[in-house]
Amino acid sequence: MPSTILFDPIGVALAALPRWTQMAVLVDENTKAHCYPLVQHHLPDHVLIEIPSGEEHKHLGTCEHIWDALTRHHFDRKSVVLNLGGGVIGDMGGFCAATYKRGMDFVQVPTTLLAQVDASVGGKLGIDFQGFKNHLGVFQEPLFVLIDVNFLGTLSQRELRSGFAEVVKHGLIADRAAWDALRSRSLGQLDWGQVVPHSVRLKEKVVAQDPTEKGLRKILNFGHTVGHAVESWFLTHQPLGGRLLHGEAIAVGMVAEAWLSVQKGLLPASELAMIEAYLLQTYGRVALPEAALPEMAHLARQDKKNEGQVILACLLRAAGEAVYDIPLTEAEIVESLRYYAGGLT
Ligand SMILES: NC(=O)c1ccc[n+]([C@@H]2O[C@H](COP(=O)([O-])OP(=O)(O)OC[C@H]3O[C@@H](n4cnc5c(N)ncnc54)[C@H](O)[C@@H]3O)[C@@H](O)[C@H]2O)c1
Ligand SMILES: [Zn+2]
């Protein structure tokens, strides 16, 4: 059953929730400092569970810590976990709740832009395992998702811009008018109170038609076939001092995949020019070493969405319209990365 999504100020939304026998609130050190003070006095008695922030803690060891706290406090199946944080907290806290005693309720309170417009919607939960991202997980919808854009006020500009890549993606795959509205403003001019609910509704609409990703939901992967590969490569190489955030990698992927869309005869070249100009202006151009391009393309094979040996991507027919299950070769991905890097311009 899809969850109820509330866009009210957090105090109002929390007051509307049912009462459970017990409540746990999951935070990391950042959301404890910045977000917990905004919700604490709106909550009934609860147990606070803190885990360290960061993707590197999204693993079984941290789950054990969460399950252990729930067990020590005698949580039963009628209790609830409120996940207060970004996508890591939401994915992992949801996974722990969905598996604790075969499933207890959980509520997502996403506090990053990425988590608000993407991770908290659609019921995908999970953790990383042996270096593979989201390798263990389940589909399970939270009972409620409470989205208050006021949480974004303490997010760094870089995290905000990274999450914004998913907002751009939603426009490019499904809503031409939203895309036109986004590109006519700079990031600082956007009204998150309007942009976030609209973007969430776009994702919701796609997920509702295909909850377990058998078909249409794959369009949400636009930019992610190449983007994930670039992200993975940077995770292990970190060439220019620092890692690439998810949305920054997806911005690279969206340019590369828009170019591939033109090569496949799907997208007019004029649309590519417009998409590329906007993304490069917003995200800059990430330096990709020429020698690394084949390795990156090879990494695209690992994608969970592929079938057998074939790389399947979602490409664009227009800004605002996507097509999925388009086969790509590693050589084509190398060419697209070379184009992005500036080699063919
Ligand atoms: N389930 C899905 O459908 C889905 C979709 C996209 C991404 N994801 C997952 O989401 C994760 C990434 O999410 P993310 O980008 O939110 O990362 P994150 O959860 O690591 O949060 C980023 C950083 O921001 C901090 N933070 C969170 N809220 C804050 C606030 N309001 N003010 C200040 N700091 C704050 C966090 O402590 C963390 O350091 C990945 O693990 C990815 O796999 C899941
Ligand atoms: Zn993404």
What is the per-residue pLDDT across 36-72, written as a single tens digit (0 to 9) for each? 999 999 999 999 999 999 999 999 999 999 999 999 9
Q: Is the CB of 88 under 6 A from ligand 1?
A: yes
What is the per-residue pLDDT across 83-141, written as a single tens digit (0 to 9) for each? 999 999 999 999 999 999 999 999 999 999 999 999 999 999 999 998 778 899 999 99
Q: Is the CB of 159 under 6 A from ligand 1?
A: yes
Residue that is written with structure tokens 């997806």 in the block: 250
- DSSP H helices in 151-268: 157-174, 176-183, 192-209, 224-237, 246-263
* CA 169 vs CA 67, 78, 104, 110, 217: distances in Å: 35, 37, 32, 19, 13
Mean pLDDT of 224-253: 87
Mean pLDDT of 298-312: 80
Residue 314 makes CB contacts below 8 A (sequence gap 6+) with 173, 218, 219, 220, 221, 222, 224, 225, 257, 322, 323, 324, 325, 326
Sheet with 80-85: list strands edge to edge: 4-6, 144-146, 105-110, 80-85, 23-28, 47-51
271 contacts 292 by C-beta, under 8 angstroms: no
Which residue out of 169, 170, 183, 203 is catalytically annotated?
203
Q: Quick check: 235 pLDDT over 70?
A: yes
Q: Give me the pLDDT at residue 76, please.
A: 96
Q: Give me the pLDDT at residue 131, please.
A: 76
What number does the ligand 1 atom closest to the CA of 88 have?
A: 19
What percent of the chain clears pLDDT 70, i.e. is strictly above it?
97
Distance between CA atoms of 222 and 226, rounded to whole angstroms? Answer: 9
304 as an active site residue: the answer is: no
Distance between CA atoms of 139 and 284, rounded to whole angstroms? Answer: 35
User: Ligand 2 centre and the CA of 255: distance in Å?
Assistant: 14
Secondary structure (3-state) at 101: helix
**CA 169, chain centre distance (Å):** 11
Mean pLDDT of 19-23: 95
Q: Is the CB of 333 under 6 A from ligand 1?
A: no
Q: Is the CB of 32 under 6 A from ligand 1?
A: no
Distance between CA atoms of 212 and 228, rounded to whole angstroms? Answer: 20
What number does the ligand 1 atom closest to the CA of 124 have?
A: 1
Tokens describing residue 255: 């340019």
Q: Is the CB of 207 under 6 A from ligand 1?
A: no
Nearest-CA residue for atom 44 of ligand 1? 119
Residue of 138, 159, 167 with the most ligand 1 atoms within 8 Å of its CB, for mutation: 159
Q: Is the CB of 121 under 6 A from ligand 1?
A: no
Distance between CA atoms of 179 and 173, rounded to whole angstroms? Answer: 9
74 contacts 99 by C-beta, under 8 angstroms: no
Q: Which helix (H) or strand (E) covers residue 127, if one does?
A: strand 124-129
Nearest-CA residue for atom 2 of ligand 1? 119
Q: Give me the pLDDT at residue 240, please.
A: 57
Residue of 35, 38, 114 with the most ligand 1 atoms within 8 Å of its CB, for mutation: 114
Residue 318 makes CB contacts below 8 A (sequence gap 6+) with 176, 267, 268, 271
Distance between CA atoms of 152 and 144, rounded to whole angstroms? Answer: 19
Distance between CA atoms of 163 and 258, rounded to whole angstroms? Answer: 19
Q: Biggest alpha carbon distance in the chain?
A: 62
